[in-house]
């Protein structure tokens, strides 16, 4: 099958926070790759906005340093010609009217305003965009997660942004939804007759979702310390993964059909409140250690604040209160400075009800379906088979293993490439609707409240380890183990 890139119409993309980590490390490289594939029309403009006093050339020089080596360098200058810069401060009026003039009044022209700043600025930026009428016609706003730091602040932001942009113009991005494997969950679950009959509490023992990172917080410490692992990763990325595993089949792939089903899952999550929080959740914070062969400092040293109580690791046991999932635990864990970079979803099936094999054939292990999001995207289905050859019936647990890169020879694309063009095309299927964000906070808030009320420090773990031992105890208490294949 030939793969073709679908053309998109010319657009303006304005990135607030244009000199920030996300813009430079993710958004611009994603746009450069789409440019190389011929998907950025020549009349499109990409405009970085930040407070720094820079001109177009200064900004391009910064980006050149970041982009060189990430694609065909000989076309980098041509790409950068479509990129410009404007210094603007969301909290000061200067420069906004010139900016509005630059963008111009063409209501049918797609204008995307990407808010890659701290959430406290979303409201001010949107208010100014509204003042200059830049919210009209085919204008769209993209909000980076986390939207707020709890339900109340998320509501404030959503209300304020909602006064300027209507819901259909608002794209709340969660880049995990743009990852190939997450999309593949839809294909696997709803494109095969094989799994769906087994996809329920009758056949599934438990689900594990791990998002492990080797990096520390580094220069993002100031942002990260106000967020922590639960707000940064779990309330959004990991709950979205959980939704994709647990949702009922939507009637179609239309944006609202998918999002309605995800919302039902979020609303069915059993609350973890009060005394349950200590039982079902584990928070950790990394100390100095050896990560990938190198000695690295602890979180508090990186931050330069020995008192921070922010968690860099969280593990928890969630349950979904509905017929399909009653009694099936979903174990989630995520952390910085873990031994490997690995993100995966493990669906562990129930053991066979009765073994016909003798003790000398080897143990009967559970079937597991492992969906790997990174580092190499793919699917593994663990099966029990007979070891080939003579020597009696010896059972082995082996994976049917498919790496997408190997199977299709397709280079892995960053999730932002797909999502940015989805915004330009006006397709919100892979973006979070307001009610989803609210439902996720409604579930996360009592956990955050109980942690704050308890005042306990997160449990220390050495950089390069799998987090505090309490995270292992969390799952082992139930007679289960974290997927060792990822260790
Ligand atoms: C971001 C978080 O949303 O996702 C970061 O803010 C995290 O802390 C990142 O490192 C992980 O994304 P990925 O695609 O590298 O797994």
Residue nearest to atom 2 of ligand 1 (CA): 232
Nearest alpha-carbon partner for 238 in 101, 94, 103, 335 = 335
User: Cβ-count burial of 397 within 10 angstroms (0-12 exposed, 13-18 middle, 19+ buried)?
Assistant: middle
Q: Which pLDDT belongs to residue 487?
A: 41
Q: Which pLDDT belongs to residue 219?
A: 82
Helices vs. strands in the chain: H and E counts, helices first: 18, 17
* Nearest atom of ligand 1 to the alpha carbon of 211: 16
Task: Please tell us whether the domain made up of 177-415+433-476 is placed in CATH 3.40.190.10.
Answer: no
Nearest alpha-carbon partner for 415 in 241, 175, 187 = 175
Rounded Cα distance, 443 and 451, in Å: 14
Contact 459, 284 (CB under 8 A): yes
Domain 11-144 identical in fold to domain 177-415+433-476: no
- For ligand 1, pick from 21, 175, 182 the residue to mutate: most ligand atoms within 8 Å of CB: 175
Whether the full predicted model's pTM is greater than 0.85, yes or no, is yes
* Nearest atom of ligand 1 to the alpha carbon of 341: 16
Residue nearest to atom 10 of ligand 1 (CA): 213
Cα 367 to averaged position of ligand 1 atoms, centre (Å):
30
Give pLDDT tens digits for 266-311. Answer: 999 999 998 999 999 999 999 999 988 899 999 999 999 889 999 9
DSSP letter for each residue of 401-459: EEEHHHHH-PPP--HHHHHHHHHHHT--TTSB-HHHHHHHHHHHHHHHHHHHHH-PPPE
Cα 233 to averaged position of ligand 1 atoms, centre (Å):
7
- Strand 281-287 with 204-212, pairing: unpaired
Residue nearest to atom 6 of ligand 1 (CA): 232
Contact 355, 382 (CB under 8 A): no
User: What does residue 71 show for φ and ψ, rounded to 5 degrees?
Assistant: -165, -150
CATH topology of domain 11-144: Rossmann fold (3.40.50)
> Using the 8-state DSSP alphabet, how is residue 248 labeled?
P
Nearest alpha-carbon partner for 185 in 203, 212, 213, 207 = 207
Q: Which pLDDT belongs to residue 3?
A: 54
Q: Which pLDDT belongs to residue 451?
A: 96
Q: Which pLDDT belongs to residue 486?
A: 47
Both tokens of 225, joined, read 């310390």
* Nearest atom of ligand 1 to the alpha carbon of 237: 3
Whole-Å CA distances, 135 to 16, 105, 170: 15, 10, 11
Rounded Cα distance, 477 and 432, in Å: 34
Cβ neighbours for 59, distance < 8 A, ≥ 6 positions apart = 18, 19, 48, 83, 84, 85
Give pLDDT tens digits for 390-434. Answer: 888 889 999 999 888 888 887 778 999 999 999 999 999 999 999
* Nearest atom of ligand 1 to the alpha carbon of 415: 14
Residue nearest to atom 4 of ligand 1 (CA): 233
- For ligand 1, pick from 222, 233, 338, 340 the residue to mutate: most ligand atoms within 8 Å of CB: 233
Q: Show contacts of 452-455: CB within 8 Å, 24+ apart.
A: 454/277, 454/278, 455/309
Both tokens of 476, joined, read 């082992």
Contact 452, 150 (CB under 8 A): no
Give pLDDT tens digits for 64-92. Answer: 999 998 889 999 999 999 999 999 999 99
Residue holding tokens 């209300």? Answer: 159
For the chain, domain boundaries: 11-144, 177-415+433-476
User: Could you give the residue numbers annotated as active site?
Assistant: 237
Q: Give the binding-site residues of ligand 1, using a 6 Å CB cut-off.
A: 213, 232, 343
Contact 83, 46 (CB under 8 A): yes
Q: What is the pLDDT along the chain (487 residues), one digit of tens a residue?
A: 445 677 789 999 999 999 999 999 999 999 999 999 999 999 999 999 999 999 999 999 999 999 998 889 999 999 999 999 999 999 999 999 999 999 987 878 999 999 999 888 999 999 999 999 999 999 999 999 989 999 999 999 999 999 999 999 999 999 999 998 888 899 999 999 999 999 999 999 999 999 999 999 988 888 899 999 999 999 999 999 999 999 999 999 999 999 999 999 999 999 999 899 999 999 999 999 998 889 999 999 999 988 999 999 999 999 999 999 999 999 999 999 999 999 999 999 999 999 999 878 877 889 999 999 988 889 999 999 998 888 888 899 999 998 888 888 877 789 999 999 999 999 999 999 999 999 999 999 999 999 999 889 999 999 999 999 999 999 999 999 999 764 4
Both tokens of 289, joined, read 């250690």
Nearest alpha-carbon partner for 48 in 2, 108, 116, 148 = 116
Residue nearest to atom 13 of ligand 1 (CA): 176
Which H or E run includes 196?
none
């Amino acid at each position: 099958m030939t793969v073709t890139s679908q053309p998109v119409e010319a657009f303006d993309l304005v990135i607030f926070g244009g000199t920030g980590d996300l813009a430079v490390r993710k958004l611009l490289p994603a746009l450069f790759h789409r440019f190389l594939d011929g998907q950025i029309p020549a009349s499109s403009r990409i405009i970085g906005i930040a407070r720094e006093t820079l001109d177009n050339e200064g900004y391009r020089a910064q980006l050149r340093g970041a982009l060189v080596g990430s694609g065909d360098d000989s076309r980098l200058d041509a790409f950068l010609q479509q990129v410009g810069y404007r210094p603007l401060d969301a909290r000061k009026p200067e420069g906004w009217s010139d900016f509005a003039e630059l963008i111009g009044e063409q209501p049918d022209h797609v204008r995307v305003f990407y808010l890659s700043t701290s959430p406290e600025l979303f409201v001010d930026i949107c208010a100014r965009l509204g003042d200059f009428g830049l919210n009209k016609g085919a204008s769209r706003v993209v909000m980076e997660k986390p939207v707020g730091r709890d339900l109340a602040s998320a509501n404030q932001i959503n209300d304020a942004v909602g006064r300027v942009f209507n819901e259909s113009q608002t794209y709340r991005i969660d880049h995990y939804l743009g990852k190939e494997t997450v999309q593949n969950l839809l294909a696997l679950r709803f494109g095969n007759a094989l799994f769906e009959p087994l996809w329920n509490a009758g056949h599934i023992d438990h689900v594990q979702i791990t998002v492990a990172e080797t990096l520390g917080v580094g220069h993002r410490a100031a942002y990260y310390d106000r967020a922590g692992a639960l707000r940064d990763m779990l309330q959004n990325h990991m709950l979205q993964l959980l939704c994709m595993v647990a949702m009922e089949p939507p009637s179609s792939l239309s944006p609202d059909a998918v999002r309605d089903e995800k919302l039902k899952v979020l609303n069915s999550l059993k609350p973890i409140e009060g005394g349950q929080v200590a039982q079902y959740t584990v928070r950790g914070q990394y100390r100095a250690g050896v990560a990938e062969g190198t000695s690295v400092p602890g979180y508090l040293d990186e931050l330069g604040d020995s008192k921070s109580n922010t968690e860099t690791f969280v593990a928890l046991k969630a349950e979904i209160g509905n017929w399909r999932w009653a009694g099936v635990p979903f174990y989630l864990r995520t952390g910085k400075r873990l031994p490997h970079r690995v993100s995966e979803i493990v669906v562990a099936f129930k053991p066979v009800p009765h073994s016909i094999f003798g003790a000398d054939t080897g143990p009967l292990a559970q079937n597991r379906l492992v969906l790997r999001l990174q580092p190499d995207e793919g699917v593994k289905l663990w099966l029990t088979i007979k070891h080939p050859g003579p020597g009696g019936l010896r059972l082995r647990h082996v994976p049917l293993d498919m790496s997408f890169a190997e199977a299709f020879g397709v280079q892995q694309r960053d999730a932002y490439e797909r999502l940015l063009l989805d915004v330009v095309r006006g397709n919100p299927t892979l973006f979070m609707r307001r009610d989803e964000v609210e439902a996720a906070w409604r579930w996360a808030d009592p956990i955050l409240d109980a942690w704050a009320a308890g005042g306990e420090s997160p449990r220390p773990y050495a950089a390069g380890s799998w987090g505090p031992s309490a995270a292992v105890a969390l799952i082992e208490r139930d007679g289960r183990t974290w997927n060792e294949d990822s260790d």
